[in-house]
Structure 1
Amino acid sequence: MTSHQSFSPDGRPRARALGIDLQGQPGPWNAITDVPGVAVGYQTLIAGDGPLRVGTGPVRTGVTAILPRGRAGLGRPCTAGRYSLNGNGEMTGSAWIDEVGQLSGPVTISNTHAIGASHTGTIQWINTTRPDLANEWLLPVCAETWDGYLNDINGGHVTPEIVCTALYSAQSGPLQEGSLGGGTGMNCYGFKGGNGTASRLIQFGEATYTVGVFLQANFGSRHELTIRGRRVGEQLQTPNPMETTDWGTSPNQTPAAPGGSGSVIVIIATDAPLDPLQCTAVSRRVPLGLARTGTTGSLFSGDLFLTFSTAPDHPSDTAFPHGAPTTAELVQTVRMPWNRMDSLYTAVVEAVEESVLNALLVNTDMTGRDTHFSPALPHDQLRTLLADK
């Protein structure tokens, strides 16, 4: 087992380092970036303390950028499909993915009220990076979860320029997790939440394919938290401020969500050759991995999932044609047989479960606006509970 599979780049323990018995074989980095070509970038915004002053702070937010083929592959489509477990959330560009089964640009994830800035910033970045693509129409994929418990969510702190910086910073390699980028102000199961990632290797004949998961975790009630079949949430002794029905006390205060609210965005990448229907089928398996960690899917949690495959690598066949075509050429594709998809489904369920645990474990306490507090999941207590058979 490599150190990156068990420890974050800054040395903090991930789920495997705590001895949690996890199934499946991860890739070298145990991250979505194990899928060749995938790059991830962050911009993290943390500033201020004390009472909320809209437009000033406190600020606990950011943006995450995922490039399916890196900067060099911008504009080359990936096969894609998505699934919504609960629609109390937003993922722009999904109607076009449903239409053609392709993803041709980056994915950004931020807070609920930063969708507009993420959309504008992505277009600005593409216009600068690949102006030839910007001359076509652009339908960026921008997703969100709600960080208003800790963050000045109405303050407009995520700007298009911040989004551009996150996109420029995207790179491959081991990934930091927890409270950074879009996950900075998020909560999960009544603990500090945020970003988590994991990967799995699968065999198909002589080929080895990778399935990578990245998620922004902001969901679940404390009493639901389950780790490897053990209900541990209520046995962990920390303050539980997210279990509240305090929906704000003044017009200037963003309401605090009751336990179970929030949302989760899950992005799945693979180099296994899949068609759009298969990508959608893979996305539909995400809830099975989330359920292993205890959630039952709150009405106020927007749970949106996107899968893309980097295996078909060819110029876009959806770009606007410049002039009349001089030749006719059919597009040929290769895909996994449906009767060999179970290994991918298993990999997704396992990697989603581990990604949630990593988001919880690679984390620290955070105090945000109006002294709202989100405690980190206590490692020592968890070790003791899991060791007590």
Structure 2
Amino acid sequence: MERKKIRDLGIVVGQLPPGPKNCLTDVQGVRVGHVTLHHPLANADNEWACTGVTAILPHEENIFQNKVVAASYVFNGFGKSTGLVQMNELGRLESPIMLTNTFSIPAVTQGTLEYLLEQNPEIGETTGTANIVVGECNDSYLNSIRMMSVKPEHAKEAIRIASTDKAMEGAVGAGTGMVCFGYKGGIGCSSRLVVDDGEQGVYTIGCLVLSNFGTQDELYSYNRFIDTEKKRRVENNNEDAQTDGSIMIVLATDAPVNERQLQRMAKRCGIGLGRTGSHMSHGSGDIVMAFSTSQTFPHFSSDRLEQQFLFREDKRMMNMLFCAAAEATEEAILNSLTRAKTTIGRKGREVEEFPLDLLKL
């Protein structure tokens, strides 16, 4: 039976309303695609591929040719992501944002680069190189990570099948082998709508997380929605599953903001993360990648000047955007728990799904 989002279970997170899909793809044009690998590996004793790739595309045009404003923020830097240095330096995103496991960063980078090269024959010839953005979490408790099952073609397939539909959540794509708070984690999404009273406009903030962090004790300290009197330990989850872990957070909006304002919004995702009980452990990679689709910037132009529209920061809207980022992150993390199903992986290990009877319904 399909598991539900936390809001569908009767728990409302925050004050702002969600978008119609309560998903990252509520931001118009944003697409999400997953490739899931979950099978025993041939000629390997008790080894499993329990992993995958998730692709996030900001729009349906050529991303390298039509860049969007972007920024990242690192809360704790125990991560092996690629592309964040240039993205922060130039404030632009020119590739899909890709998520996978730690050892698959090279393969996913290669596949994403091949995708861009096929689309843009001028890269490396008549123009410069391309900046590929990939984030990761360590899924080695359930996934035979040393076998490196993810290949470049899996990255290209995730990009190819990406759609604006409501994204799949839980143990799918990059989230297939992830563990969150000692239970099954993975992909979670949420969104918020913010009304601009001055212009009578509505802006959308979407969030997608790859959750792979935290202990059960941290979760039980989060008692707003958890009935701590019912708390219990999952016997099948031994000490090895209780690692420091990581979380990758992707934040998207159609609000007119620049890269500095985006980074300010990205920082507020940490509020949502902290509300769930995380304290960002020593070995945790806690990273946000954010972009705005409000306008695109051409790779080639003869103009010496370019114009950008953005909110003034001393008005109500920036505070509302900050609130939306925090709320959407918190709910996306909870959805990654409530949507994920019990998963079996390498060495016969099993990580159980979050028991919904722990919620204060």
Shared fold (TM-score greater than 0.5)? Answer: yes
Contact 2:182 2:237 (8 Å CA) reproduced: yes
Contact 2:228 2:358 (8 Å CA) reproduced: no
Distance between the aligned counterparts of 2:174 and 2:229, measured in 1? 27
Deviating more after overlay: 96-105 vs 232-241: 232-241
Are 1:330 and 2:283 counterparts?
no
Distance between the aligned counterparts of 2:124 and 2:160, measured in 1? 16
Counterparts of 1:1-389 in structure 2, within 5 Å, are 12-23=3-14, 24-48=16-40, 53=45, 57-133=47-123, 135=125, 136-204=128-196, 205=198, 206-225=200-219, 229-232=224-227, 235-242=230-237, 244=239, 256-257=240-241, 259-316=242-299, 328-339=303-314, 340-379=317-356, 381-383=357-359, 386-387=360-361
Contact 2:19 2:26 (8 Å CA) reproduced: yes
- 1:272 corresponds to which letter in structure 2? A
Distance between the aligned counterparts of 1:110 and 1:13, measured in 2? 24
Q: Offset of 1:75 from its aligned partner? A: 2.9
Q: Offset of 1:243 from its aligned partner? A: 5.3
Contact 1:89 1:144 (8 Å CA) reproduced: yes
Q: Which runs of 5+ in 2 are unaligned?
A: none
Distance between the aligned counterparts of 2:150 and 2:228, measured in 1? 32
- 1:292 corresponds to which letter in structure 2? R
Distance 1:93 1:41, change over 3 A: same
Distance between the aligned counterparts of 1:18 and 1:212, measured in 2? 20
Contact 1:115 1:144 (8 Å CA) reproduced: yes
Distance 1:22 1:293, change over 3 A: same
Q: Offset of 1:127 from its aligned partner? A: 1.8
Q: Offset of 1:239 from its aligned partner? A: 1.6
Contact 2:69 2:296 (8 Å CA) reproduced: no
Residues 94-132 of structure 1: per-residue CA shift (max 9 Å, x gap) = 110121111111011000000000110001111223334
Distance 1:211 1:45, change over 3 A: same
Deviating more after overlay: 30-39 vs 127-136: 127-136
Counterpart of 1:131 in 2: which secondary structure?
Answer: coil
Counterpart of 2:245 in 1: which secondary structure?
Answer: strand
Contact 1:186 1:192 (8 Å CA) reproduced: yes
Distance 1:50 1:119, change over 3 A: closer
- 1:47 corresponds to which letter in structure 2? H
Distance between the aligned counterparts of 2:333 and 2:167, measured in 1? 14
Residues 64-106 of structure 1: per-residue CA shift (max 9 Å, x gap) = 0011113555531111111111111122111101211111110
Distance 1:314 1:157, change over 3 A: same
Distance between the aligned counterparts of 1:225 and 1:240, measured in 2? 16
Contact 2:64 2:130 (8 Å CA) reproduced: no
Distance between the aligned counterparts of 1:128 and 1:214, measured in 2? 27
Distance between the aligned counterparts of 1:238 and 1:51, measured in 2? 34
Distance between the aligned counterparts of 2:110 and 2:95, measured in 1? 14
Q: Which runs of 5+ in 1 are unaligned?
A: 1-9, 245-255, 322-326
Distance between the aligned counterparts of 1:345 and 1:331, measured in 2? 27
Q: Offset of 1:236 from its aligned partner? A: 3.3
Contact 1:40 1:171 (8 Å CA) reproduced: yes
Contact 1:110 1:145 (8 Å CA) reproduced: yes
Counterpart of 2:327 in 1: which secondary structure?
Answer: helix
Distance between the aligned counterparts of 1:370 and 1:233, measured in 2? 31
Distance 1:192 1:49, change over 3 A: farther
- 1:12 corresponds to which letter in structure 2? R
Contact 1:50 1:370 (8 Å CA) reproduced: no
- 2:267 corresponds to which letter in structure 1? R
Contact 1:50 1:368 (8 Å CA) reproduced: no
- 1:382 corresponds to which letter in structure 2? L
Q: Offset of 1:238 from its aligned partner? A: 4.9
- 1:305 corresponds to which letter in structure 2? V
Distance 1:371 1:328, change over 3 A: closer
Identity %: 34
TM-score (norm 1): 0.85
Contact 1:194 1:217 (8 Å CA) reproduced: yes
- 2:10 corresponds to which letter in structure 1? G
